[in-house]
Structure 1
Amino acid sequence: MSTEGLSIPGISMGSAEAGAGRIRRSGPPGLFTALRRGVFAALRRPFATTVCVEVAVVALVVLDVWLVIPPKAPPYSIYLSAASCLAVVLRRRFPFLAMLAAVPGFLAGWAQLASMITLGMLATRRQLTWQTWVGAALVFTCRFLQWPLDEFAQLSWREHFLDGIYGVLVAGMPIAIALLLGARAEIAAKLHELAKSRDRERRLYADAIRAEERARLAREMHDVVSHQITLIAMQAGALQAQAKEGQALETAQVIRRLSTRTLEELRSLVSVLRSGAEEDGPRPGIGELDHLIRTADVPVQLTVEQLPDTLPSQVSAAAYRTVQECLTNVHKHAPGATATIRIQAGSGALDIEVENERAREAGETLPSGGHGLTGLAERARLLGGSFETSDTKDGGFRVRAHYPLDR
């Protein structure tokens, strides 16, 4: 007996290629795995991510103060440093005020990192404005001066020069990083705008190509097809005038009526192609099936069940085109056969089934492009439905189409 596909709770069987009898036990994940998954799932939320970042930044600036503060530091320097650490929390909403609140803790305390972080956020939000320049000057002053001022006055010129260099680095580094981030965001926005511009250009180019193709099709249809149909209508009119009665007169009337209607639809379609409208021309609906069946020259048994009073125009047109194409195929490929048409609307969809018997007469071979059923399948797919064809047991042919009504 093959064990492939066998599943037992708590046990996973390996494949035959992995070795027979190889068993891997599976159980609940460990505590560390569950905790890691929970942390990652929480970090995917924007609010949780913001809270974690703020806690990490505050802990970092507090650790910076705690590592450098001397054991016998004045109480006011400790308070000012603590205020600078708390000012870091306000840097997103009030960057300039947060920077001003963090400066005293740097000048008379030990909160250097807090001042640099607030200055970096100020430069990120304001870029090179007067507020950024004021913040840079204050941070440079805090790094260059030493508190109390009497100790600053006792420093040598070398120490003043080194403090000035360090002041430039301390004040310039956050601004440089902020400008780099700003440039990166600006480049990303430019790239996004460029991508949108390229998409618009592609759409405009596609519209231009489509308009050109529409115009070409309209010219061909007007110059070739419309001309031929006009000649057919004229010849049918001449035949109708010559035939006084009988089958010839009826046939001439049918040919003239069909050619005239086809010419009207063709002209409407040419107008649509010329205008570039989204609609695909005149749409005969399901209400015109009676006229189509009477003029199809095919024996038809029609059954309609639960048809609503109104149908979407696209579904109604698709139903008409489906029956029209099926009757045309019966007339061409199965002359003399009876076509059975069943139309039913229910469960929010319109179902059409057309079935014909095998050919009973030897008909004339007519030209066929083989694109009619393909076009019906594409129409059904565009409307969210389905289209199926199959042979019957008695040698006939069956077509089923399903069109949703809620689209």
Structure 2
Amino acid sequence: MRLRPAVLDAALIALSATEVWATRSMGGSLSLAVACTATAALLVRRRFPLLAFAATLPALSLGYVWLAPMAALYQVASGGTGRTAPDANGSTRSRPRVTPRMWVIGGCAAAVAVVSFVPWPWLGTIDWEPAPTILALLLSALLATAPTALGLLSSSRRELAARLAELAASREREARLAAEQAVVQERARLAREMHDTVAHHISLIAVQSGALEVTARSQEARDAAGAVRELSRDALDELRRMVGLLRLPVTNASGSSDPADTAGRAAPAGPGLAELPALLATAGPTVRGRVDAGGCPAPVGHAAYRIVQESLTNVRKHATGAETEVDVRLTGGRLLVSVRNGPPGERPGPLLPSGGHGLAGLRERAAQLGGTLDAGAQPDGGFLVRAVLPAA
């Protein structure tokens, strides 16, 4: 039992016992026993409200014990009303209808009014003059209506609180659904834009490089065109995979609305540790690397691949011709990824566009897996990217 109801019950029983003690001299031993029974009945008024109410009616007929019957009537009335019925649409704001519960409450109130007004033989001589009779009627009406009205008010407040909580939960569900719909629409828009614009341009690059590979006169030009064509094809494959991920539903089978989790369950993670040697081989003669890690989860291997890929791209952008060392190894249940480059070469490379989001994206990848990523300049003028990813 919660503390507040227990305190209220104890206070009510104490008040009822005080009333019995104060009126103990108004009747005999039988009347005292009846009054004590009414007070004891309040102990079970929450669990058996009708039984407790019936046990207090004899005390009410004594004419001077009122508190216990009024408390029992209040409990009956506050137990719930069921005053409205759902309409065809399931709404409860339709017209009120009389329910069995209302009949019970009305019957109990009528019983209190009748028992408190009837001139029982043990009450002695009754004065039927108009003034005393009217006062007796008013008292009976007050004893019956006041507890009933307060009980119905308490029941209505509880019902209102429950409805408000239900409404708040419904609005929260609607807001969550609206947010999910917005995410789905935005993902679909991004997928369309990537397919219709980026994929189109990369396809043109692949076609033009293929034509150049066939028509070029020198072997060096043909090799460069072939490399561009292969890279364009790989980029198209990656782009198609990303468009497929964006087209996946937001909510996965487990009920989660995490797109990353959904994508990870519904599609392969992409290139991983097995593809790192090929990536290093195509990076150029100034890149040396060591990959000594096996058995890592696919998402961890994919994150390591993207970290190395983005780091090498940054070297080509900002430190053309710099000596670069790549080290990927598994140590103590953690995958260590390190990409270190020296100062840029004497001949600067062409300026390439940069959005400035590469390192931020790498940090987000590492954080999603529970790892860390640090990047910063080195004293010799180079740059170091170091990531620690959980491999267990």
User: If the TM-score is normalised by the length of the shorter chain, which range does it land in?
Assistant: 0.7 to 0.9
1:335 to 320, 327, 342: 320
Q: What is the match of residue 377 of structure 1?
A: 363
CA contact (8 A) 2:277 2:291 kept: no
C-alpha separation in 2, matches of 1:298 and 1:144:
109
Q: What is the match of residue 357 of structure 1?
A: 342
C-alpha separation in 2, matches of 1:109 and 1:402:
84
CA contact (8 A) 1:81 1:110 kept: no
1:202 to 150, 170, 175: 175
Q: What is the match of residue 310 of structure 2?
A: 325
Query: How far off is 1:80 after superposition?
Result: 0.8
Task: Deviation per CA, 1:89-117: give whole Å up to 9, x if none.
Answer: 10111111111112112223743111111
C-alpha separation in 2, matches of 1:103 and 1:180:
23
Query: How far off is 1:72 after superposition?
Result: 5.3
1:79 aligns with 2:33: yes
Unaligned segments of structure 1, at least 5 residues? 1-45
Q: How does 1:7-406 map to 2 (within 5 A)?
A: 47-67=2-22, 69-71=23-25, 73-108=27-62, 110-127=64-81, 128-148=101-121, 151=124, 153-243=126-216, 246-277=219-250, 278=259, 279=263, 283-297=270-284, 299-304=286-291, 307=293, 309-311=295-297, 313-346=298-331, 348-362=333-347, 363-405=349-391
CA contact (8 A) 2:335 2:391 kept: yes
C-alpha separation in 2, matches of 1:152 and 1:159:
12
Change (3 A) 1:52 1:370: same
Change (3 A) 1:239 1:80: same
CA contact (8 A) 1:298 1:337 kept: no
- The count of residues paired between Structure 1 and Structure 2 equals 358
2:116 partner letter: R
Q: What is the match of residue 4 of structure 1?
A: none
C-alpha separation in 2, matches of 1:144 and 1:196:
49
Change (3 A) 1:174 1:394: same
Q: Secondary structure at the match of 1:352?
A: strand
Q: What is the match of residue 84 of structure 2?
A: none
CA contact (8 A) 2:80 2:155 kept: no
Identity %: 39
C-alpha separation in 2, matches of 1:150 and 1:385:
86
C-alpha separation in 1, matches of 2:294 and 2:70:
73
C-alpha separation in 2, matches of 1:239 and 1:131:
93
Superposed CA RMSD in Å reads 2.5
Query: How far off is 1:83 after superposition?
Result: 0.8
TM-score, normalised via structure 1 length: 0.80
Q: What is the match of residue 19 of structure 1?
A: none
**Greater mean alpha carbon deviation, residues 213-222 or residues 343-352:** 343-352
1:365 partner letter: L
Q: Secondary structure at the match of 1:321?
A: helix
Change (3 A) 1:192 1:308: farther
Query: How far off is 1:87 after superposition?
Result: 0.6
C-alpha separation in 2, matches of 1:317 and 1:203:
31
C-alpha separation in 1, matches of 2:299 and 2:359:
17
C-alpha separation in 2, matches of 1:351 and 1:156:
102
1:323 partner letter: V
Query: How far off is 1:73 after superposition?
Result: 2.1
